Amino acid sequence: MSAPTVHSVGIVMNGVTGRMGLNQHLRRSIDAIRREGGLKLSESETILPNPILVGRNQAKLEAISAEFGGLPWTTDLGAALSDPAYPVYFDAQTTERRASAVQAAIAAGKHIYCEKPVATGVAEAMDLYRAARHAGVKHGVVQDKLWLPGLLKLQTLIKLGFFGRILSVRGEFGYWVFEGDRVPAQRPSWNYRREDGGGIIIDMLCHWRYVLDNIFGEVKAVSCLGATHVPERWDESGRPYRATADDSAYATFELAGGIIAHFNSSWAVRVRRDDLLTIQVDGSLGSAVAGLRHCWIQPYAATPRPVWNPDIESPLNYFDGWQKVPEQDTFDNAFKRQWELFLRHIVKDEPFRWGLLEGAKGVQLAEKGIESWNRRAWVDVPELTAG
């Protein structure tokens, strides 16, 4: 019997000292795959990711390396990119640092996997896509919400025809992010400084683009209003600073097929709903409400018949009549699932359609959302082409 084949894939992981890079990508994805013995392709074939950690803070890198069994690390990105043992570059840095580092990695011949937004503007994002295509490197962009259990259940309902004709989609996202003076903030201070690449529009409209495009229909136009509801916050050192970026966005989207979608995104809202993200889909034959993990449905035959009368207590409990979708499958971490697909793409050349062009579409929608806010008008979202 021949020896098992292990495909070792070296990955330059830049930005692992940040919250997202450490928790979702290193701890819950790459290290989780390694602890499972690698990504098993068959009884005789496995992919084993081997990361080198990159960042600017030596002390943090040393501590993270020790936590994960002595992983190699460096503060010299150029040296890591010049090492042929690491053919893949991953970027989870702050937004304004990403594009230049990805360009350098492409120039070094690395395959690219990166967080979004991929850039701060669509022109820069398209430059990354064209550079990767010209260099012949593979590329992918994190679009994690597509693998959330709640959204996977929505996709199953659509495939089964549960909704009939989809009429509208309504999303509510957000939570109260503390200012940082009395209670520690849950998000980094750069999120609230436009000059550092912050703002909820550039952050979240990138998410809503791939969610809408992939599940419901291509985005054709947007109307967006941004706001900075909390004008002063306190940074990681306890110093007050002025919030120059939007902390809330109220956006309506026109989708292909006549579907209307509306998403409220806010870091200045208190939660009284099922989850930090809920998406309601209403169709001619039924409706569904999905959170991060769970999904509830109400078919046409079980839809109540309310009558408006504000002078009496409602005889209906509107939470009744919704049925929870049963757990018909097992669900792994959404980030890990996409990492596994990308690793299969690198090693086995399996299809992977969430590349830098898709990332550019997210940046485009954020850019158009800001344009809509500035113009106080609907803005068309033209098709981005590969040319």
According to the model, what pLDDT value does residue 328 have?
85
Burial bucket for residue 235 (CB in 10 Å: 0-12, 13-18, 19+): middle
Mean pLDDT for the stretch of residues 94-107? 95
Same-domain status, 112 and 254: no
Same-domain status, 162 and 294: yes
Same-domain status, 273 and 345: no
Residue range(s) defining the domain that contains residue 56: 5-144+334-354
Report yes or no on 385 lying in a domain.
no
Residue 211 has pLDDT above 90, yes or no: yes
Residue 90 has pLDDT above 60, yes or no: yes
Mean pLDDT for the stretch of residues 198-207? 96
Mean pLDDT for the stretch of residues 292-315? 94
282 C-beta neighbours (distance < 10 Å), count: 17
Pair 128, 118: CB distance under 8 Å:
yes
Mean pLDDT for the stretch of residues 357-378? 98
Identify the CATH number of the domain in which residue 113 sits.
3.40.50.720
Same-domain status, 48 and 131: yes
Distance separating alpha carbons of residues 151 and 279, to the nearest angstrom: 8
Report yes or no on 387 lying in a domain.
no
- Averaged pLDDT of the chain: 96
Same-domain status, 319 and 348: no
Distance separating alpha carbons of residues 156 and 166, to the nearest angstrom: 14
Nearest-10 Cα torsion for 100, 119, 128, 341:
110
Identify the CATH number of the domain in which residue 286 sits.
3.30.360.10
According to the model, what pLDDT value does residue 387 have?
67
Distance separating alpha carbons of residues 25 and 51, to the nearest angstrom: 11
pLDDT tens digits for 159-192?
999 999 999 999 999 999 999 999 999 999 999 9
DSSP calls for 152-179: HHHHHHHHTTTTSSEEEEEEEEE-B---
131 C-beta neighbours (distance < 10 Å), count: 18
Among the ranges given (144-153, 159-168, 311-320), the one the predictor scored with the smallest mean pLDDT:
311-320
Report yes or no on 384 lying in a domain.
no
Same-domain status, 318 and 177: yes
According to the model, what pLDDT value does residue 362 have?
97
Residue 241 has pLDDT above 80, yes or no: yes
pLDDT tens digits for 333-355?
999 999 999 999 999 999 999 99
Q: Which two tokens stand for residue 25?
A: 């990508």
In sequence order, the β-bridge partners of residue 113 are 90, 140
Report yes or no on 128 lying in a domain.
yes
126: closest CA among 145, 110, 105, 103?
103
Total of domains in the chain: 2
Among the ranges given (6-20, 168-182, 316-330, 371-385), the one the predictor scored with the smallest mean pLDDT:
316-330
Going across the sheet that includes 323-324, the strands are 323-324, 295-299, 286-290, 277-283, 166-174, 260-266, 248-255, 219-227, 379-380
Distance separating alpha carbons of residues 60 and 189, to the nearest angstrom: 18
Q: Which residue has the higher pLDDT, 330 or 254?
A: 254
pLDDT category, 141, cuts 50, 70, 90?
A: very high
215: closest CA among 159, 273, 142, 141?
159
Q: What's the helix, strand, coil split of the chain in %, to 5?
A: 35, 25, 40
Report yes or no on 65 lying in a domain.
yes
Same-domain status, 155 and 140: no
pTM for the full predicted model: 0.94
Burial bucket for residue 349 (CB in 10 Å: 0-12, 13-18, 19+): exposed
pLDDT category, 1, cuts 50, 70, 90?
A: low
pLDDT tens digits for 68-88?
999 999 999 999 999 999 999
pLDDT category, 272, cuts 50, 70, 90?
A: very high
Mean pLDDT for the stretch of residues 39-50? 96
Same-domain status, 172 and 124: no
Report yes or no on 386 lying in a domain.
no
Report yes or no on 108 lying in a domain.
yes
Please state whether the peptide bond connecting residue 117 to the residue before it is cis, i.e. omega within 30 degrees of 0: yes
Same-domain status, 152 and 116: no
According to the model, what pLDDT value does residue 329 have?
86
| Degrees, nearest 5: CA angle 176-180-185 | 50
